[in-house]
C-alpha cells in the first residue's frame, strides 16, 4: 500500500542546515515532491525529483533520493527564520495507473528556526 | 492574475447541518482536488475530478460529495456534518495529470463542527 512517513518536528538555529527526512513504501513511485506550508496558507511546491535521479539541487535546497532504502531528504542550507513552516513529502505512487495525478502526502514536518 | 480561491475561510456549524465549501480556479485547469488536513495525518484526498461532470472518490470520501458542472468550480458538500469532520480543507487544481504538472493549492477553509 501507499505510505509516506515523516518525523513531526525539527528545530534548528538560524544559519545552520536543516535536513528533513521522509520514507515511502511504494516502489513504483516515479516522482517525489516537497511542499512548504506557511502559517495560515495553502501548500506551495518547493521542488520535485524524478525517481531515476539521486540528487537535485536548487539554490539553498538539496534533495537526495535513496531508492534502495525508499528514503527522501530535503536539505535547506543556511536556514533562515522565514523557512519556518510545515514541510510535506509527497509521492505519486503510480504515475501512469489508477493513481494518475493523485498525491499521497506524509504527515508533515514542522520546522522551527530559532534566531 | 489567475488564482484559486476558497470560501468561506472559516466556518462554524452544528452537527447534522449540511455545509458546502466553495472552490474556484481561474486557470482553466482540468483537474481539481479536495483534501483535508489533520495533525498527524498530513493531507488526505477526499474527492477529485478530471473534468466537467467527472468526479471520483478519494481516500476519505465518506460523508462528502462533490459535483463538477463547469471547469472553474468544485464545491464540496458535507451532507450531515459530524464532529469528526472538523478540519482544515484545501482545494487544489492542476492543468493535467502529468507528474510534473504542479498542483496549486487554495488558502484553505477551517471548518468547526460543534
Q: CA A62 to CA B87: how far, in whole Å? A: 32
Torsion angle of C-alpha atoms A90, B37, A38, B40, degrees rounded to 10: -80
- Summarised one tens digit per residue, pLDDT across range B44-80 is 999 999 999 999 999 899 999 999 999 999 999 999 9
Four-CA torsion B39, B44, B46, B50, nearest 10 degrees: 140
Give A31→chain B minimum CA distance, Å: 7
Query: Quick one: pLDDT band at residue A2, thresholds 50, 70, 90?
Result: low
Please give the helix or strand (H or E) that residue B33 lies within, else none.
strand B31-38
Instruction: Select from A103, A109, A110 the residue whose CB has the most chain B CBs within 10 Å, as the one to mutate to test that interface.
Output: A103
Query: What pLDDT does A76 receive?
Result: 97
Contact flag B100-A45 (C-beta cutoff 8 Å) = no
Asked whether residue A93 carries a pLDDT value surpassing 80, the answer given is no
Q: Which member of A41, A100, A107 has the closest CB to residue B41?
A: A107
Is residue A51's pLDDT more than 90?
no
Q: Are B104 and B90 in contact (CB under 8 A)?
A: no
- Inter-chain CB proximity B90 and A8 less than 8 Å: no
Amino acid at each position: 500500500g501507499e505510505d509516506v512517513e515523516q518525523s513531526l518536528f525539527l528545530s534548528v538555529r538560524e544559519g545552520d542546515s536543516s535536513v528533513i527526512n521522509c520514507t515511502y513504501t511504494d516502489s513504483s513511485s516515479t516522482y517525489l515532491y516537497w511542499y512548504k506550508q506557511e502559517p495560515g496558507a495553502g501548500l506551495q511546491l518547493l521542488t520535485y525529483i524524478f525517481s531515476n535521479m539521486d540528487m537535485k539541487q536548487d539554490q539553498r535546497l538539496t534533495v537526495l533520493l535513496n531508492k534502495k532504502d525508499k528514503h527522501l531528504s530535503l536539505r535547506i542550507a543556511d536556514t533562515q527564520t522565514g523557512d519556518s513552516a510545515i514541510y510535506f513529502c509527497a509521492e505519486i505512487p503510480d504515475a501512469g495507473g489508477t493513481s494518475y495525478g493523485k498525491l499521497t502526502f506524509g504527515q508533515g514536518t514542522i520546522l522551527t528556526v530559532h534566531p | 492574475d489567475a488564482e484559486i480561491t476558497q470560501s468561506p475561510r472559516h466556518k462554524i456549524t452544528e452537527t447534522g447541518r449540511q455545509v458546502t465549501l466553495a472552490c474556484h480556479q481561474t486557470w482553466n485547469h482540468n483537474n481539481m482536488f479536495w483534501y483535508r488536513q489533520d495533525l498527524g495525518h498530513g493531507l488526505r484526498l477526499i474527492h477529485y475530478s478530471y473534468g466537467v461532470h467527472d468526479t471520483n472518490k478519494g481516500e476519505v470520501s465518506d460523508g462528502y460529495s462533490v459535483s463538477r458542472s463547469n471547469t472553474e468550480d468544485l464545491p464540496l458538500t458535507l451532507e450531515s456534518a459530524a464532529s469528526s469532520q472538523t478540519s482544515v480543507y484545501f482545494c487544489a487544481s492542476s492543468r493535467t495529470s502529468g507528474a510534473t504538472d504542479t498542483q496549486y493549492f487554495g488558502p484553505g477553509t477551517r471548518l468547526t463542527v460543534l
